[in-house]
Structure 1
Amino acid sequence: MDRELSSNTIKANKRKRLSQISAAIAVIAVAIFGFRSLITPSISRDEIRTAVVEKGQVLATLTATGVVVPEKEQVITSPIQARIEQVVRSSGEQVQPGDQILLLDRSFTQLAYDKLKDEQQLNQHKSVQMRLQLQKTLNSLESQLEIKHMNVRSLQARLDDEKYLLKIGGGTQEQVKQAELNLKIAQQEFSQLERDIASELALLKADEQELSYTLAMQGRSIEELKRKMEQAEVRAGSKGVVTWVKNEIGNSVNAGDVIARLADLSSFKVKASIADTYAEQLQVGNQASLRVNNTNLNGTIAAIEPTVTNGTITFYVVLPHEAHKLLRPNLRVDVQVITATKPNTLRVKNGPYFRSASGNQVFILREDEVVRVPATIGVSNTDFVELENGVNVGDEVVISSMKEHEHLKRMTLKK
Structure 2
Amino acid sequence: MDRELSATTKQANKRRRYWQIGITLALLAFAIVGFRSLLTPSLSRDKLRTAVVERGPVVATISASGVVVPENELVITSPIQARIEQVLLKAGEQVKPGDQILLLDRAFTQLAYDKLKDEQQLNQHKSVQLRLNLRKTLNQLASQLTIKQMRVKSLQAQLEDEKYLLKIGGTTQESVKQAELNLKIAQQELQEIERDMATERELLKADEQELGFTLAMQGRSIEELQRKMEQAEVRATHNGVITWVKNEIGSTVNAGDIIARLADLSSYKVKATISDTYAGQLLVGGNIIVRVNNADLQGTISSIEPTVSNGIVTFYVALQDKAHQLLRPSLRVDVFVTMASKGNVLRVKNGPYFNSAKGQQVFIVQGDEVLRKPAAIGVSNVDFVELENGVQPGDVVVISEMAEYEHTEKLKLK
Pick the TM interval, shorter chain: 0.7 to 0.9
Q: 1:189-225 CA distances to partner (integer Å, 9 max, x unpaired)? A: 2222222222222121111111111111111111101
Matched with 1:231 is 231
Of residues 294, 305, 308, the one that matches 2:306 is 308
Of residues 389, 407, 410, the one that matches 1:412 is 410
Which sections of structure 1, spanning at least 5 residues, go unmatched?
Answer: none
* Residue 61 of structure 1, CA deviation: 3.6
Matched with 2:378 is 377
Q: 1:364 to 1:211 in 2, by over 3 A?
A: same
- Kept in 2, the 8 Å contact 1:360–1:377? The answer is no
The question of 1:317 aligning with 2:332 is answered: no
1:271 is paired with a residue of what secondary structure?
strand
- The aligned amino acid for 1:97 is P
Q: 1:239 to 1:25 in 2, by over 3 A?
A: closer
Deviates more, 1:338-347 or 1:100-109: 338-347
Q: 1:170 to 1:66 in 2, by over 3 A?
A: same
Distance in 2 separating the partners of 1:237 and 1:158: 85
The question of 1:329 aligning with 2:334 is answered: no
Matched with 1:193 is 193
- The aligned amino acid for 1:278 is Q
**5 Å matches for 1:357-376?**
357=357, 360-365=360-365, 368-376=369-377
Q: 1:94 to 1:281 in 2, by over 3 A?
A: closer
* Residue 68 of structure 1, CA deviation: 2.2
**5 Å matches for 1:27-42?**
none
- Kept in 2, the 8 Å contact 1:60–1:381? The answer is yes
Q: 1:299 to 1:68 in 2, by over 3 A?
A: same
Q: 1:202-261 CA distances to partner (integer Å, 9 max, x unpaired)? A: 121111111111111111111101001111111222344434332222122222223233
Distance in 2 separating the partners of 1:143 and 1:331: 88
Deviates more, 1:94-103 or 1:213-222: 94-103
Count of matched residue positions in the alignment of Structure 1 and Structure 2: 400
Deviates more, 1:129-138 or 1:337-346: 337-346
Distance in 1 separating the partners of 2:359 and 2:283: 25
Matched with 2:52 is 52
Which sections of structure 2, spanning at least 5 residues, go unmatched?
Answer: none
Q: TM-score, normalised by structure 1?
A: 0.80
Deviates more, 1:23-32 or 1:156-165: 23-32
Deviates more, 1:21-30 or 1:156-165: 21-30
* Residue 396 of structure 1, CA deviation: 2.9
* Residue 27 of structure 1, CA deviation: 8.3
1:305 is paired with a residue of what secondary structure?
strand
Q: 1:280 to 1:359 in 2, by over 3 A?
A: farther
Q: 1:369 to 1:335 in 2, by over 3 A?
A: closer
- The aligned amino acid for 2:258 is V
Q: 1:257 to 1:147 in 2, by over 3 A?
A: same
**5 Å matches for 1:248-397?**
248-265=248-265, 267-275=266-274, 276-280=279-283, 282-283=285-286, 286=287, 288-292=289-293, 295-301=294-300, 304-305=302-303, 307-310=305-308, 311-319=313-321, 322=323, 324=325, 326-337=326-337, 342-357=342-357, 360-365=360-365, 368-378=369-379, 380-397=380-397
- The aligned amino acid for 1:176 is V
Q: 1:403 to 1:158 in 2, by over 3 A?
A: farther
Q: 1:5 to 1:48 in 2, by over 3 A?
A: farther
- Kept in 1, the 8 Å contact 2:284–2:303? The answer is no
Q: TM-score, normalised by structure 2?
A: 0.81
* Residue 62 of structure 1, CA deviation: 4.3
* Residue 343 of structure 1, CA deviation: 4.2
Distance in 1 separating the partners of 2:96 and 2:314: 38
Q: 1:317-346 CA distances to partner (integer Å, 9 max, x unpaired)? A: 2426x262x433211212335566544431
2:170 is paired with a residue of what secondary structure?
coil
Distance in 1 separating the partners of 2:402 and 2:190: 115
Distance in 2 separating the partners of 1:198 and 1:222: 36
* Residue 22 of structure 1, CA deviation: 8.6
* Residue 278 of structure 1, CA deviation: 2.9
Q: 1:240 to 1:140 in 2, by over 3 A?
A: same
Distance in 1 separating the partners of 2:183 and 2:64: 100
* Residue 414 of structure 1, CA deviation: 4.7
- Kept in 1, the 8 Å contact 2:67–2:272? The answer is no
Distance in 2 separating the partners of 1:232 and 1:223: 14
- Kept in 2, the 8 Å contact 1:120–1:218? The answer is yes
* Residue 315 of structure 1, CA deviation: 2.4
- The aligned amino acid for 1:223 is E
Q: 1:239 to 1:22 in 2, by over 3 A?
A: closer
**5 Å matches for 1:89-108?**
89-108=89-108
* Residue 365 of structure 1, CA deviation: 4.5
Distance in 2 separating the partners of 1:255 and 1:404: 67
Deviates more, 1:77-86 or 1:45-54: 45-54
- Kept in 1, the 8 Å contact 2:96–2:238? The answer is yes
